[in-house]
Amino acid sequence: MSATDDAQAASAQAANAQAESAAYFEQLRTFAGLEIGVQALAPDEVNVPMVRHWCEAMGDTNPVYLDRAAAESSVHGGLVAPPTMLQAWVMRPFGEARDESDTNPYAQLTKLVESKGFTSVVATNCEQSYDRYLRPGDRLTMRTVIDAVSEEKTTGLGTGHFITTRQDYFDAAGERVGSMLFRILKFRPAAKKPAAPAARAMRPRPSVTHDIAFWFEGLQQGKLLIQRCADCGTLRHPAGPMCRNCHSLAWDTIEASGTGTIHSFVVVHYPQIPSIDYPNQVVLVDLPEGIRVVANTVDTTPEQLQIGAAVQLVVQHCDDALSLPFFKVVNS
């Protein structure tokens, strides 16, 4: 294709996208003014006990709501309900499912905007207006209409559409007593930043004393050293300052051949330490030199973990400052 063809294709594509977006917004606009569901009837009349709970919760001490004598001598001539309770009288009962049926225009609208990726929701505004005070005994009905659907807007939360519903409240005579505009933003959730690969936690540091430093230094050089009494030749592990056989303090080391067999093992599941892989296979290995060493396995499946299995030493450099012996089961 020539550069001109490319430019034409790109411009055709842009025109298509624009047409599609215009059609989508036109479709959105058709929802404005549609009534949602049937008129909802308040489960209870406006009543003093609910007003009392509300006033206690809100800390509202206005006497016209609960003090009958004060209310009668006020401009109201009797008890009235706090205007801001408007929504409370016709709230959907707890546990009653929202109407998500295909015939519900609000469900259809939600589906449409969600199909464009605007799947998150946040309530942004609520405005109530009152035509008159409600009195105990009023029983309300409510009518909900999709008031407006905005064009695509970009906000701090993300790009999406504001959807405003209007609820009108009526008394038994069909007179409007108040209304409420409720606005939400249906928006496209911001793309999550890919998490940086977590730095692997370091294995817990051993407490290296003067008596065992040689053992860790040997591992740094890839060698598993075994302490040997310089007087009677008895091997000992873990390392210590004195021979348990002849009580000599003189010692040297030999290097383990690196072979061995599993004397016993455990598989640790909990508690989990971030630097260690789980299930954590721990083996007690008989070395042919005559001592036993506790270590983790490497490249060993749970099925291979058997008492008596032959193992091979693998010294691993866990990090710059720590090398440890591991054992790998070798199939004979």
Q: Least distance from C-beta 225 to Zn ion, angstroms?
A: 17
DSSP 8-class letter at 127: E
Rounded to 10°, the helix 105-115/3-29 angle is 160
Q: Is 93 helix (H, G, I), strand (E, B) or coil?
A: coil
Q: How many residues does the chain have?
A: 332
* Piece of 26-34, 89-97, 155-163, 221-229 that binds Zn ion (CB under 5 A): 221-229
What is residue 191's DSSP assignment?
P
Give the strand pairing for 310-319 and 322-329.
Answer: antiparallel
> Which listed range, 62-70, 224-232, 253-261, 307-315, lies at the site for Zn ion (CB under 5 A)?
224-232
- Least CB distance to Zn ion at residue 252 (A): 11
**Shortest distance, CB of residue 227 to Zn ion, whole angstroms?**
10
C-alpha to C-alpha distance for 113 and 163, rounded to whole angstroms: 10
Nearest to Zn ion of 187, 251 (CB atom): 251
> How many other CB atoms sit within 10 Å of the CB of residue 34?
15
Using the minimum distance from each CB to Zn ion, give the nearer residue, 15 or 246.
Answer: 246
Shortest Cβ distance from residue 232 to Zn ion (Å)?
3
Query: Smallest distance, Å, CB 235 to Zn ion?
Result: 10
Euclidean distance between CA atoms 263 and 147, whole angstroms: 77
Return the number of the residue (140 or 229) whose C-beta is nearest Zn ion: 229
DSSP lists the bridge partners of residue 149 as 163
**Closer residue to Zn ion, CB minimum distance, 211 or 231:** 231
Shortest approach of Zn ion to residue 228 CB, angstroms?
A: 9
Dist CA 288 CA 308 (whole Å)? 13
CA-based radius of gyration for the chain = 39
Closest to 171 measured CA to CA, from 255, 81, 57, 95: 81
Structure tokens at 330: 């070798």
* The two structure tokens encoding residue 242: 């004195």
Q: Name which of residues 230 to 269 contact Zn ion (CB under 5 A).
A: 231-232, 234, 243, 245-246, 248
Contact 291, 277 (CB under 8 A): no
> What residues does 36 pair with on adjacent strands?
144
Nearer to Zn ion, 236 or 328 (CB): 236
Give the separation between CA 306 and CA 327, rounded to whole angstroms. Answer: 13
Q: Which stretch binds Zn ion (CB under 5 A): 57-65, 114-122, 225-233, 262-270?
A: 225-233
Q: Which of residues 122-141 bind Zn ion (CB under 5 A)?
A: none
Q: To the nearest whole angstrom, how small is the minimum distance from the Cβ of residue 253 to Zn ion?
A: 14
- Applying CB under 5 A, the span of 146-154, 223-231, 261-269, 290-298 interacting with Zn ion comes to 223-231
Q: Nearest approach, Cβ of 246 to Zn ion (angstroms)?
A: 3
Nearer to Zn ion, 127 or 252 (CB): 252
Q: Which residues pair with 296 in a beta bridge?
A: 282, 326
The correct pick among 140, 180, 229, 283 for binding Zn ion (CB under 5 A) is 229
Considering beta carbons, is residue 21 or 248 the nearer one to Zn ion? 248
By beta-carbon proximity to Zn ion, the closer residue of 170 and 251 is 251
Query: Whole-number minimum distance, CB 247 to Zn ion, in Å?
Result: 7
Nearer to Zn ion by Cβ, of 234 and 261: the residue is: 234
| CA dihedral (47, 48, 54, 58) positive or negative | positive
Residue 61: alpha-carbon gap to chain centroid: 41
- Which 9-68 residues touch Zn ion, going by CB under 5 A? none
Total residues at the site for Zn ion (CB under 5 A)? 8
What is the binding site for Zn ion (CB under 5 A)? 229, 231-232, 234, 243, 245-246, 248
